């Protein structure tokens, strides 16, 4: 029997290994990059230690779908030859493919597998099916295994899917998609930091690290915005900015403040005497209460300098976890003794320190998953997407689906993600239905582990399409076997 290579070909990461093993042999970014010190694009390795500051990136997958087969061939060739050290002609391949892939993309994938690399056989699967299979095998006496029914919420690099799975088949008519994933969140974080601190629009790898280490999901956005409220004044540039981007949606009382500050910015009279006018109003709704050094959400990220360190890092890890101590009244109790307002939170950025501060950006970025309209996207949030997916299925499946929601994908790793989703979902679900959300033990590897489990089954070889069948029948006929 030939060896089976399991390849989870994601838009952000490639997870590759052998069927039957628990963890993949290698995990690499699905891209080529060109650092400033190089004149050509390089292949990423699992232990890349190069300085990736302002590195150019080329990706074969955009918005979840393969758009550059030649680039994908180059990456796979490096993976199979230099990292896995396999002979494709003696191996079978289990490959993951996103839902609703176009026929032209399917043909390009089959050509890569059979004609360019010459694999012995191929099996294609969608990620929700593999996640369901793995969770059912982990809990043989749980609801997912007994009912053979689950709702897989996959928040990946390119998009977010809510996919009902019944008896190991994904119900395509019930799948709902949000065109927002980890890449869009990183881009939004780059825009926020570039506007408020330093320009990081070219720092994809660094801002990915910032997002993964510092962002979290807020359980009460209006409260946390009060805590992180700030005013920033730049006299030399005659500009004044205020964090009204989300505040107006949650607090109508702050409309007057927004109006004043916009009028000041429009007239160019953003001097200290104009600010004194605001302070003399003595209005608590202005919210100028928070000292910068008391901000529960403030933390500092140090950028790489290319000499002493080539990776960015959090300056004070304990400070980054301070948000866990926030409760409903903590931020007000510390301000009772204040008799005057102060502007201390946002200072002029010191570019010589090679660092920047984050406050409300930490929870505003993951907030986009629950409210995509804040990014200008005319799409429903994640909770409403789940309800629509469940309502598309048979009514008898509704209680089972709500009790067996499985979270997978790297974007579900934000702290408090499951708690916030349950808070958003509970008011939308009938009272007589229970809501149970399960996060995989490793959401990034969940799909690959399901594929490894399937590849080790005795019936796997019979499920595959061989190279001889592909050459005789063609891609379209062979694809009918992968009914999903």
Q: How confident is the model at residue 229, as a pLDDT?
A: 72
d(CA 58, CA 35): 12
Residue 84 has pLDDT above 60, yes or no: yes
Q: How confident is the model at residue 45, as a pLDDT?
A: 83
List helix spans (H) across 101-181: 103-110, 127-138, 143-147
Residue 408 has pLDDT above 50, yes or no: yes
pLDDT more than 90, % of the chain: 53
What is the average per-residue pLDDT within 335-353?
44
Locus of tokens 């399901």 = 450
What is the average per-residue pLDDT within 212-231?
84
88-109 confidence digits (pLDDT tens): 989 999 999 999 889 999 999 9
Whether the Cβ atoms of residue 216 and residue 229 lie closer than 8 Å to each other: no
192-207 confidence digits (pLDDT tens): 999 988 889 988 999 9
Q: How far is CA 270 from CA 197, 239, 258, 276, 291, in A?
A: 19, 6, 14, 11, 21
Q: How confident is the model at residue 423, as a pLDDT?
A: 95
* Helices 204-214 and 182-196: angle between axes, nearest 10 degrees: 100
Q: Which residue has the higher pLDDT, 295 or 19?
A: 19
Q: pLDDT tier at 334 (50, 70, 90 boundaries)?
A: very low
Q: pLDDT tier at 325 (50, 70, 90 boundaries)?
A: confident
Token representation of residue 409: 């994908």
d(CA 359, CA 292): 10
Nearest to 136 by CA among 162, 159, 169: 169
Residue 228 has pLDDT above 90, yes or no: no
* Most confident range, picked from 35-39, 221-225, 429-433, 472-476: 429-433
Residue 59 has pLDDT above 80, yes or no: yes
258-273 confidence digits (pLDDT tens): 444 444 444 443 333 4
**Which strand (E) or helix (H) includes residue 350?**
none
Q: pLDDT tier at 47 (50, 70, 90 boundaries)?
A: confident
Q: Which residue has the higher pLDDT, 457 or 296?
A: 457
Residue 335 has pLDDT above 50, yes or no: no
Nearest to 411 by CA among 180, 221, 134: 180
Question: What is the bridge-based pairing of β-strands 405-408 and 149-155?
Answer: parallel
Residue 257 has pLDDT above 90, yes or no: no
* Helices 272-279 and 255-267: angle between axes, nearest 10 degrees: 160
Poorest-pLDDT segment among 218-232, 398-412, 424-438, 454-468:
218-232
* Beta-bridge partners for 32: 58
Residue 483 has pLDDT above 70, yes or no: no
What is the average per-residue pLDDT within 50-62?
87
Residue 32 exposure: Cα atoms within 13 Å on the Cβ side: 20
**Which strand (E) or helix (H) includes residue 379?**
none
Q: Which residue has the higher pLDDT, 230 or 232?
A: 230
Q: How confident is the model at residue 318, as a pLDDT?
A: 85
Q: How confident is the model at residue 60, as a pLDDT?
A: 95
Q: For all residues of the chain together, what is the average pLDDT?
A: 81
* Helices 417-425 and 361-370: angle between axes, nearest 10 degrees: 40
Question: What is the bridge-based pairing of β-strands 169-170 and 160-166?
Answer: antiparallel
Q: Could you tell me if residue 281 is left (phi over 0), alpha (psi between -120 and 50 degrees) or otherwise beta?
A: alpha
* Beta-bridge partners for 299: 358
Q: How confident is the model at residue 244, as a pLDDT?
A: 38
Token representation of residue 318: 């304990």
Whether the Cβ atoms of residue 296 and residue 325 lie closer than 8 Å to each other: yes
Nearest to 9 by CA among 68, 97, 78: 97
117-155 confidence digits (pLDDT tens): 999 999 999 999 999 999 999 888 888 888 889 999 999
d(CA 433, CA 402): 7
**Beta strands per DSSP E along 131-249:** 149-155, 160-166, 169-170, 176-178, 231-234, 239-242
Q: Which residue has the higher pLDDT, 89 or 283?
A: 89
Residue 385 has pLDDT above 80, yes or no: yes
């Amino acid at each position: 029997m030939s060896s089976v290579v399991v390849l989870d070909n994601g838009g952000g990461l490639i997870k590759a290994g052998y069927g039957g093993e628990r963890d993949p042999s290698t995990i690499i970014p699905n891209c080529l990059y060109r650092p400033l010190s190089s004149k050509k694009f390089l292949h990423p390795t699992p232990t890349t230690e190069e300085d990736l500051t302002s590195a150019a990136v080329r990706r074969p997958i955009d918005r979840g779908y393969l758009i550059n087969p030649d680039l994908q061939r180059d990456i796979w060739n490096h993976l199979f030859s230099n990292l896995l050290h396999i002979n494709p002609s003696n191996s079978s391949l289990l490959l993951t493919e996103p839902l609703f892939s176009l026929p032209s993309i399917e043909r390009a994938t089959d050509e890569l597998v059979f004609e360019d690399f010459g694999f012995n056989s191929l099996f294609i699967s969608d990620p929700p099916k593999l996640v369901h299979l793995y969770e059912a095998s982990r809990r043989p006496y749980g609801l997912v295994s007994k009912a053979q029914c689950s709702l897989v919420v996959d928040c990946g690099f390119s998009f977010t899917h809510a996919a009902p799975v019944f008896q190991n088949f994904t119900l395509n008519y019930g799948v709902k998609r949000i065109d927002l994933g980890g890449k869009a969140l990183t881009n939004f974080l780059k825009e926020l930091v570039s506007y408020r601190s330093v320009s990081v629009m070219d720092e994809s790898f660094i801002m990915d690290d910032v997002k993964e280490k510092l962002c979290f999901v807020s359980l009460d956005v209006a409260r946390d915005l009060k805590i992180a409220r700030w005013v920033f004044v730049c006299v030399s540039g005659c500009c004044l900015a205020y964090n009204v981007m989300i505040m107006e949606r949650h607090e109508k009382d702050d409309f007057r403040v927004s109006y004043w500050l916009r009028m000041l910015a429009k007239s160019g009279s953003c001097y200290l005497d104009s600010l004194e006018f605001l302070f003399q109003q003595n209005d608590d709704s202005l919210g100028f209460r928070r000292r910068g050094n008391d901000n529960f959400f403030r933390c500092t990220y140090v950028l790489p300098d290319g000499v002493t360190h080539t990776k960015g890092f959090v300056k004070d890890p304990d400070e980054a976890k301070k948000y866990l101590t926030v409760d409903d009244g903590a931020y007000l109790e510390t301000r009772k003794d204040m008799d005057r307002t102060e502007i201390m939170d946002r200072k002029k950025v010191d570019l010589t320190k090679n660092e920047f501060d984050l406050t409300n950006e930490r929870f505003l970025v993951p907030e986009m998953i629950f409210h995509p309209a804040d990014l200008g996207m005319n799409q429903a949030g994640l909770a409403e997407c789940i309800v629509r997916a469940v309502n598309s299925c048979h009514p008898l499946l509704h209680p089972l689906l709500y009790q067996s929601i499985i979270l997978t994908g790297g974007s579900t790793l934000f702290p408090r993600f499951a708690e916030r989703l349950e808070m958003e979902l509970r008011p939308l679900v009938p009272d007589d239905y229970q809501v149970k959300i399960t996060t995989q033990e490793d959401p990034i590897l969940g799909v690959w582990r399901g594929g490894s489990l399937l590849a080790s089954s005795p019936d796997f070889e019979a499920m595959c399409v061989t190279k001889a069948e592909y050459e005789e029948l063609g891609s379209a006929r062979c694809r009918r076997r992968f009914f999903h």
